Amino acid sequence: MKRILLFLIALFVLATTLKSQDDEFYLHSLKMNRALYYLKNLYVDSVKTKDIVETGLKRIIESLDPHSTYISAEDVQDITEQLDGEFEGIGIQFEVYRDTLLVLSTITGGPSAKAGLKAGDRIVKIEGENIANIEITDSQIMSLLKGEKGSIVNVTVYRKGELIDFCIIRDTIPIFSVEASYRVDDNTCYIRLNRFAKTSYNEFMKALNELGNTRNIILDLRGNVGGYMDIAISILNEILPHKSLLVYTEGTHSSKKEYVADKESGKLRGSRVVVLIDEGSASASEIISGAVQDWDRGVIVGRRSFGKGLVQNAYLLPDGSVIRITTSRYYTPTGRLIQKPYKKGVDVYKNEISERYRNGEFSTKDSIHFDEDLKFKTLKSRRTVYGGGGIMPDIFVPIDTSTYSDYYRDLLSKSVINDFVLKYVDDNRIKLHKSYYSIKNFSEEFEIDSKFMKEFINFAESYGVNYNKNDYATSENEIRLILKALIARDLWDTSAYFFITNNDNKVFKKAVSIINGDEYNRILVGSLVK
């Protein structure tokens, strides 16, 4: 009886507070609280209030639109680390290879590098606990290695037949979002950005400064799902003229807010710009590609982007969990809303990309249809562009499936290629570094010969992937390319991987052709002379 009385008093206090603000809101809040009380105190079986609230909040938030989400307190840290661009740990890139933690590389200047760990080391114990030859996941390893800055973790490493103990002092470790950057030719630079984290703009500028001459810049945003909008705006500030409208946002409860280029001299304002996008490019990626396209400031190459034009803000709840709710929509400088429809439900929305593939959109530009009521004109050349479903590139490049086969699929699904490369580099690391002094040198001189491929085929057989002559003929060139690229990555970094694979990538090759030729100007100003 006492418990019920306390509950009623609490409801009265809540009612007094809310009723004066909004009668309807008060009634709905009262309803939710009362239902929760009844479930907790009157239901036939014992009920955990936390489970009810967690499940209920998740379903309520996700029913609003596809991008509003509820994030439990347990998951907040992982998501925050990705967007903050850093975490606290020991600073290694690793792979679990045949139940052993293999160090692929150490971050330069990081805790592990300072302690003396090297690529090729096998960590067999963490804090005296054996982690070798047992089933262990990446997430379990991360939980053992991560910890507060300044704390100590002791590891035992197997190296060249002996066990060596290391005492590593954890520190702040960057999570890089500039995945690759290198010079394509004397005039052209390439930068690949995999997300828009807090550190992305600084990483981007550092890459530009290290690359030097940026007469031409290819910005690769394929597969970039977005992140912080203000980071995208900072990058646009380097590309678009001073005082140009970059993007604006507006919502039912938020007034129109315009974001304008406020930097007087951007580093790329005199450069030719090509932006690469595909169906995985979303949100902040679309802000950049949309603004560049609307101002006729550069050429967009690839396939139609994802179509996310909703802005989310995060709000902290008392237990440390977070709700990220859509508060406004963003519009490109011409007024285009890029958001694709989602009124048919979350499942239909999530399957929309697969539907594009089935409809042939990845293969032919003619399969893509836009609403004529959502037609817009670019701001300088008056070229036709569309809203209502992603950014349509200026130059469409179809997906290349000519090298795909069941054999190649099985190699990927069973991690055969990756595991073979790990073993090959581990066995030949010193020899490879002595033979190849740079990525360019490796790209030009390293050959995957028939002997190498025979060893690979036998290795695949040991994984249960049986050789198929016809499938192998279909995928051989692609397999050789990926093998070489992964070896380069393990010897250097991810820039090396893309340096190798881009040489055979149709979207990249088209971008290089455009940015170095007359086609660049024809695309951007051609409509003026029609």
Q: In three state form, how does the secondary structure of 72-105 look?
A: CHHHHHHHHHHHHCEEEECCEEEEEECCEEEEEE
Q: Say which DSSP state 389 is in.
A: S
Residue 1, pLDDT score: 44
Please give the angle made by the CA atoms of 509, 378 and 506, to the nearest 5 degrees. 10
Domain boundaries, the chain: 2-47, 86-174, 178-396, 406-492
Question: What fold does the segment set 86-174 form as a domain?
Answer: Pdz3 Domain (2.30.42)
CA distance 354 to 258: 34
Percentage of the residues of the chain whose pLDDT score is greater than 90: 59
Burial grade of 101 (CB within 10 A; 0-12, 13-18, 19 or more): buried
- Asked whether the predicted pLDDT for residue 407 surpasses 60, the reply is yes
Residue 15, pLDDT score: 52
* Residues whose CB is less than 8 angstroms from the CB of residue 332 and which lie 6 or more positions away in sequence, other chains included: 247, 287, 290, 291, 293, 294, 338, 387
State pLDDT tens for residues 469-528.
999 999 999 999 999 999 999 999 999 999 999 999 999 999 999 999 999 999 998 544
- Asked whether the predicted pLDDT for residue 345 surpasses 90, the reply is no
Residue 346, pLDDT score: 83
Please tell me the CATH code under which domain 178-396 is placed: 3.90.226.10
Residue 183, pLDDT score: 96
CA distances from 125 to 5, 204, 448, 488 (A): 56, 37, 36, 29
CA distances from 368 to 190, 392, 501 (A): 29, 9, 28
Residue 94, pLDDT score: 85
- Asked whether the predicted pLDDT for residue 196 surpasses 70, the reply is yes
* Residues whose CB is less than 8 angstroms from the CB of residue 458 and which lie 6 or more positions away in sequence, other chains included: none
Mean pLDDT of the chain: 89
Band of the pLDDT at 22, cuts 50, 70, 90? low
> Residue 80 in contact with residue 91, Cβ under 8 Å?
no
Band of the pLDDT at 96, cuts 50, 70, 90? confident
Q: Tokens 């990756």 label which residue?
A: 418
State pLDDT tens for residues 130-177.
888 877 777 788 888 888 899 999 999 988 788 999 999 999 888 889
173 vs 328, higher pLDDT: 328
Residue 239, pLDDT score: 97
- Asked whether the predicted pLDDT for residue 16 surpasses 70, the reply is no
Q: Say which DSSP state 337 is in.
A: B
Residue 368, pLDDT score: 87
State pLDDT tens for residues 248-271.
999 998 899 999 999 988 999 999
Residue 19, pLDDT score: 52
CA distance 225 to 283: 6
State pLDDT tens for residues 197-249.
999 999 999 999 999 989 999 999 999 999 999 999 999 999 999 999 999 99
Residue 521, pLDDT score: 94
Percentage of the residues of the chain whose pLDDT score is greater than 70: 95
- Asked whether the predicted pLDDT for residue 12 surpasses 80, the reply is no
Please give the angle made by the CA atoms of 507, 512 and 515, to the nearest 5 degrees. 120
